[in-house]
């Protein structure tokens, strides 16, 4: 176990959400020496960690630090905490925050490690946090980047970004999380980091569809490249820094999720490309593929912002309108010919 620097002796951490990513982040902090309270929605997860030191449902075969204290009570988990890491699926973020609100204290800093855009408001997770909890942006941030939970659980080198509108908050959280195998960069572009982390899941479904259809590596490379254009396009329309999308939470996370065998979103796309129905795919999955719900948010937001996101639109049609993947490929390949550089959004 690593030793904690003196400046962090008073840091009390709660991780809300005991899925694979929440569990691996709690374990990272526990291995560093922090006592980490982990909120478990499901009692079977609590029992599994207490009896075997494993999350046998979401992160099996990873021995967890004894510094992790699991609990199903939000009140107990949040008592005395000053750093709250939110790792619940994006579609239940608002509901979870409403339950957290009675236990809110002014000392708490909230960091989102969830990737998604809310369906009905088109808000990012930090925007939802700020709205529901009525806190200042300086008390909020987002952690994102190319990071599979299992590899972090195995203590393999991982590099991410922590973004907050307050540089001091970002630097503080950076130092809390940083370790010999977890490198953290800072950013002030919360919108850009969140858009990159959310929309890349939609592109990963597209990459999976192409792989499931056996379209080849040329097609996958094209989807990743043009997918990054779409991520950047929607990000800039929402006020993001264009340079963010060349970084870890942009192209880094996009490459990982579009190519890695551990990607749930790529897996969903792959099965769709093979001809399976979405309902049947979801019945086989216990963990959430965030890109499914985010595809709806991105599609509707693109119409509101009046921007073209052809790949995201085709994934929306496949997921929600039962469009045939082969027809989507044909539409993408026969779109109006144009210059590669998007001058309307170039800076």
Same domain, 200 and 181: no
Q: Which entry of 115, 165, 200, 271 is annotated as an active-site residue?
A: 200
Is the distance from CB of 251 to CB of 332 less than 8 angstroms?
Answer: no
Same domain, 204 and 135: no
pLDDT tens, N- to C-terminus, the chain (347 residues): 555 666 777 899 999 999 999 999 999 999 999 999 999 999 999 999 999 999 999 999 999 999 999 999 999 999 999 999 999 999 999 999 999 999 999 999 999 999 999 999 999 999 999 999 999 999 999 999 999 999 999 999 999 999 999 999 999 999 999 999 999 999 999 999 999 999 999 999 999 999 999 999 999 999 999 999 999 999 999 999 999 999 999 999 999 999 988 999 999 999 999 999 999 999 888 777 899 999 999 999 999 999 999 999 999 999 999 999 999 999 999 999 999 987 665 44
Token pair recorded at residue 75 = 């009140």
Same domain, 164 and 269: no
Token pair recorded at residue 114 = 């969830």
Distance (Å, whole) CA 84 – CA 105 = 11
Same domain, 205 and 181: no
Give whole-number Cα distances, 97 to 75, 224, 238, in Å: 12, 34, 24
Domain count, the chain: 2
Range of the domain at 33: 6-188
Is the distance from CB of 159 to CB of 145 less than 8 angstroms?
Answer: yes
Distance (Å, whole) CA 338 – CA 277 = 34
Q: Is 200 designated active site?
A: yes
Distance (Å, whole) CA 100 – CA 61 = 31
Same domain, 54 and 104: yes
Same domain, 121 and 211: no
C-alpha angle 293/295/297, rounded to 5°?
A: 75
| Within-domain flag for 1 | no
Same domain, 133 and 198: no
CATH of residue 62's domain is 3.40.50.720
Distance (Å, whole) CA 203 – CA 311 = 7
Is the distance from CB of 107 to CB of 98 less than 8 angstroms?
Answer: no
């Amino acid at each position: 176990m690593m030793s904690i620097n003196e400046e962090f002796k008073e840091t009390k951490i709660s991780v809300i959400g005991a899925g694979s990513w929440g569990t691996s982040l709690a374990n990272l902090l526990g291995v560093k020496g922090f006592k980490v309270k982990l909120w478990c929605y499901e009692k079977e997860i609590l029992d599994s960690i207490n009896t075997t030191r494993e999350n046998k449902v979401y992160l099996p075969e990873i021995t967890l630090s004894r510094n992790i204290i699991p609990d199903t009570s939000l009140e107990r988990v949040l008592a005395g905490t000053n750093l709250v890491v939110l790792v619940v699926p994006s579609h239940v973020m608002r509901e979870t925050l409403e339950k957290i609100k009675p236990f809110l204290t002014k000392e708490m800093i909230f960091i989102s490690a969830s990737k998604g855009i809310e369906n009905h408001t088109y808000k990012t997770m930090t925007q939802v946090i700020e709205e529901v909890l009525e806190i200042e942006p300086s008390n909020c941030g987002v952690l994102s980047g190319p990071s599979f939970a299992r590899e972090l659980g195995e203590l393999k080198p991982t590099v991410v970004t922590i973004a907050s509108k307050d540089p001091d908050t970002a630097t503080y959280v950076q130092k809390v999380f940083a370790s010999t195998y977890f490198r953290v960069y800072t950013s002030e572009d919360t919108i850009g980091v969140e858009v990159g982390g959310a929309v890349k899941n939609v592109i990963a479904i597209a990459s999976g569809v192409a792989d499931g259809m056996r379209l080849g590596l040329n097609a996958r490379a094209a989807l990743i490249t043009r997918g990054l254009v779409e991520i950047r396009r929607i990000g800039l329309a929402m006020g993001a820094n264009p340079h963010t999308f060349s970084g870890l939470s942009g192209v880094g996370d996009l490459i990982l999720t579009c190519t890695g065998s551990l990607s749930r979103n790529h897996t969903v796309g792959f099965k769709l490309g093979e001809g399976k129905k979405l309902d049947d795919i979801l019945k086989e999955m216990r963990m959430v593929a965030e890109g499914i719900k985010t595809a709806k948010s991105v599609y509707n937001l693109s119409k509101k912002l009046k921007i073209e996101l052809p790949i995201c639109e085709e994934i929306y049609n496949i997921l929600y309108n039962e469009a045939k993947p082969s027809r989507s490929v044909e539409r993408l390949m026969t779109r109006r010919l144009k210059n590669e550089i998007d001058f309307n959004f170039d800076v």
